[in-house]
Amino acid sequence: MSLLERIGGPDDLKALRPDQLAPLADEIRRFLVEEVSRTGGHLGPNLGVVELTMAIHRVFSSPDDTVVFDTGHQSYVHKLLTGRRNFSGLRTQGGLSGYPSRAESQHDVVENSHASTSLSWAHGIAAGRVVQGQTDRHTVAVIGDGALTGGMAWEALNNIAADSDLPLVVVVNDNERSYAPTRGGLADHLATLRTTRGYERFLDWGKTTVSRTPVVGGAMYETLHGVKKGLKDIVAPQGLFEDLGLKYLGPVDGHDEPAIEAALRKARAFRGPVLVHVITQKGRGYDHAVNDEGDQFHAVGVINPETGLPLEIAGRSWTDEFSEAMVEIGAERDDVVAITAAMMIPVGLKDFCERFPERTFDVGIAEQHALTMAAGLSYAGLHPVVAVYATFLNRAFDQLLMDCALHRAGVTVVLDRSGITGPDGASHHGMWDMTISGVVPGLHLAAPRDGHQVVRALHAAVAVADAPSVVRFPKGTVGDPITAVRTVGAVDVLAEPDAGDVDVLLVGVGSMAATTLTAAEKLEAEGVRVRVVDPVWVLPVSPDLVTLASSARRVAVVEDNVVVGGIGSQVALAVRDAGSDVPVDSYGLPKRFLEHGSRGQVLDAADLTPDAVAASVRARLT
């Protein structure tokens, strides 16, 4: 039996001898490479936290002590050490989640995979236990240096430091990266801490050498020790954290398990909040990951573990279409600039950055700052394009509303991974953006149905100078172009029996246009007259779409957004305001958190398939 097979929980890990820990770490890395290469997932981050996670579970007692992982994509090792070794279905329907999951284990607490939240969670948990007199229970927050670029983390640190009796340990997993290398002033400060260890060595020399000086040696050492704050600012500037009131330990080699354990035991014994700075290497132990300059295998698909190469070559993606269009627009207009929130490669801005580095801003994991900075750039005479995952627009809603829309700023927001993303689950589905965008006055929103329309929509969006514009598209391979048979004003007609009245007007929003076309074929086979349209720009609702609605007995809007407050409800309101009594039916995602699975599986469960839509429309016509 291997060492890993003997680990059914943290107690088994604690029972291992010190000389068994390095072999266990090697086993875990081999397991991760073998299993994640079969399913895809966050490989690089987990290879980097093996010894750190082992040390946490040997020093603390989960679940009595609570471990909170920021973002949670680096929790695979934690899953293994808490008895979950069946990775065969990782990130697939019915299998292990790619993030912590309360349904899986009592050792998992925070499922939200949005970054920079762990310290607030940990502060609340620790403070709540203090209020209840449970001061012997510790809370550990593991946060990466990338997540520390988020403002919410610093709001939490400010409050944590003010509570001097809090039994809370903040572990900074410093690998110099989030998806890509961490940027900004904090990154520079952490880099200084990594490379400057002189203070502790100097103080050790003082204790052993100066103290031996007759008569005055002890006094000299105390004086020297008394000015340690000044020395630290000069020799090892960890004062940034200690000025906040946090005890700082480190930096510690994140692949020296005994050293991490020693630092964590000191932190646990300290009566108050402590920050332990641990230096790790993303992709540790797997050369293909370490040598990947892009993101060190932050997230991979199915790969050959021997070569690190994908087993299937992906087709052209929606992101590729956006990426090329951005470079084209950048060459045409020198006022167009790009902003990313620590996701240069995933959102398709890498090529733009390489071509126009002075016009590209990576603000770190700071979506709120990104949107308000964009408003400022617009005021300064530029047209910013902010590219983020659709789910992360949630974090910047106030800035979109009050900084961009209120000030009529010409800002374009590009939302990648809109709709159902699949294997990353509830917190990554981009299913809320059209609902929250729908309440923003003056906002324009395009949902392209294919790659050609992405290019058209982006060109149109950057031409909007007096309001925010949004372009959304899904994850994955883009399909063949869908050609319009005619255009009615701003609306593309994709299919119709003729130009006359119809039984049903099917409105396909964005990538759901293909679904509506197939549903229409099924209905037409039963004698139902169907017209399929793509509004192109879904917000504000086009008067041309309202006119087309008047020529149908019913309207059905199909979208991959939460049905409550989505485009269907916007169309229904516009039709009613126009004095029409044509009923409008909305087909969208249910208002609940949807589990991980393939995109097709999740859409099928939500009845957003051609068969389900056709059956429902048919039933409502009778």
Residue 246: pLDDT band (50, 70, 90) is confident
Picking from 66-75, 295-304, 344-353, 531-540, which range would have the lowest pLDDT averaged per residue? 295-304
Q: Where are the alpha helices (DSSP H) in 162-293?
A: 185-195, 198-209, 217-226, 228-235, 239-242, 257-269, 287-290
- Report if residue 302 sits inside a domain: no
> Residue 307 falls within a domain, yes or no?
no
| pLDDT surpassing 70 at residue 479 | yes
**Domain at 153, CATH number:** 3.40.50.970
Integer CA distances (angstroms), 145 to 157, 178, 189, 194, 198, in order: 14, 7, 11, 12, 22
Alpha-carbon distance of 24 to 70, in angstroms, equals: 24
CA 190, CA 176: separation in Å to the nearest integer? 8
Give the pLDDT of residue 220.
Answer: 42
Looking at 171-180, 350-359, 461-470, 612-621, which range is the least confident one?
171-180
Supply the mean pLDDT for the chain: 90
In angstroms, rounded to a whole number, what is the distance separating the alpha carbons of residues 480 and 471?
A: 19
Same domain, 272 and 154: yes
pLDDT at 228: 42
Quote the tokens at residue 602.
């999740």
Residue 139 lies in a domain: yes
Q: Dihedral angle at the C-alpha atoms of 59, 24, 190, 396, nearest 10 degrees?
A: -90
| pLDDT over 80 (residue 190) | no
One domain for residues 213 and 180? no
Whether 451 and 589 map to the same domain: the answer is no
| pLDDT band (50, 70, 90) for residue 173 | very high
DSSP code at position 540: S
Give kind and range of the element (H or E) at residue 249.
Answer: strand 247-253
Residue 425 has what pLDDT? 85
Torsion of the alpha carbons at 245, 246, 249 and 253, rounded to the nearest 10: -130
According to DSSP, the residues that pair with 336 across neighbouring strands are 383
Which of the listed residues 409, 444, 472 is the one where a domain comes to its end? 472
Instruction: Please state, in angstroms and rounded to a whole number, the distance separating the CA atoms of residues 392 and 335.
Output: 25
* Residue 296 domain flag: no
418 and 505 in a single domain? The answer is: no
- How far apart, in whole angstroms, are the C-alpha atoms of residue 509 and residue 389? 18
Domain-embedded: residue 298: no
Q: What is the pLDDT of residue 231?
A: 41
User: Do the beta carbons of residue 339 and residue 373 sit within 8 Å?
Assistant: yes
What pLDDT is attached to residue 227? Answer: 45
Task: Report the C-alpha gap between 66 and 126 in whole angstroms.
Answer: 9
- Asked if 227 and 286 sit in the same domain, the reply is no
**Residue 286's closest CA among 21, 51, 44, 31?**
44
Tokens of 57: 């579970």
Instruction: Say yes or no: 523 and 428 in one domain.
Output: no
Are 26 and 140 in a shared domain? yes
Single out the residue of 60, 70, 119 nearest to residue 427, CA to CA. Answer: 70
Nearest C-alpha neighbor of 287 from the set 39, 40, 47? 47
Q: Give percent of the chain above pLDDT 70.
A: 90
> Mind spelling out the 3-state secondary structure of 489-505?
CCEEEEECCCCCCEEEE
Please spell the DSSP secondary structure of 273-333, one letter per residue: -EEEEEE--TTTT-HHHHT-TTTSSSSB-SB-TTT--BSS----BHHHHHHHHHHHHHHH-
**Contact in structure between 338 and 365 (CB atoms under 8 Å):** no
107 and 182 belong to one structural domain: yes
Number of domains into which the chain is organized: 4
114 with 89, same domain: the answer is yes
Q: Are residues 329 and 360 in the same domain?
A: yes
187 and 270 share one domain? yes
Question: Within a domain: residue 479?
Answer: no
Sign of CA pseudo-dihedral 419, 421, 422, 427: negative
Residue 185, pLDDT above cutoff 80: no
Tracing tokens 């006094």 back to the chain, one arrives at 219
Rg (CA), the chain: 27
Q: What would the pLDDT profile of 160-172 be if each residue is shown by its tens digit?
A: 999 989 999 999 9
Q: By residue range, what is the domain housing residue 350? A: 318-472
301, part of any domain = no
pLDDT band at 203 (very low <50, low <70, confident <90, very high): very low
Q: Are residues 178 and 221 in the same domain?
A: no
Could you list the active site residues? 282, 367, 395
Q: Which range is least confidently modeled, 200-214, 244-258, 320-334?
A: 200-214
Extended strands (E) in 498-571: 502-508, 530-534, 537-539, 552-562
Contact 451, 478 (CB under 8 A): yes
Pairing type for strands 486-488 and 491-495 reads antiparallel
For residue 215, give the amino acid letter: V
pLDDT tens for 444-470 read 999 999 999 999 999 999 999 999 999
Sign of the C-alpha dihedral computed for residues 338, 567, 532 and 600 taken in this order: positive
In this predicted structure, the answer to whether residue 376 has a pLDDT above a threshold of 50 is: yes
Residue environment code for 435-461, b if the CB has 16+ CB neighbours within 10 A, otherwise e: bbbbebeebbbbbbbbbebbbbbbebb
d(CA 435, CA 589): 11
- E strand residue ranges, 126-219: 139-144, 168-174
Residue 196 CA: distances (Å) to CA of 189, 255, 479, 530: 11, 19, 52, 70
CATH of the domain at 527: 3.40.50.920
The residues, ordered by sequence, that sit 6+ positions from 500 with a Cβ below 8 Å of its Cβ are: 551
Question: Is pLDDT above 50 for 226?
Answer: no
The answer to whether residue 209 scores a pLDDT higher than 60 is no
pLDDT of residue 401: 98
Instruction: Flag whether 179 is in a domain.
Output: yes
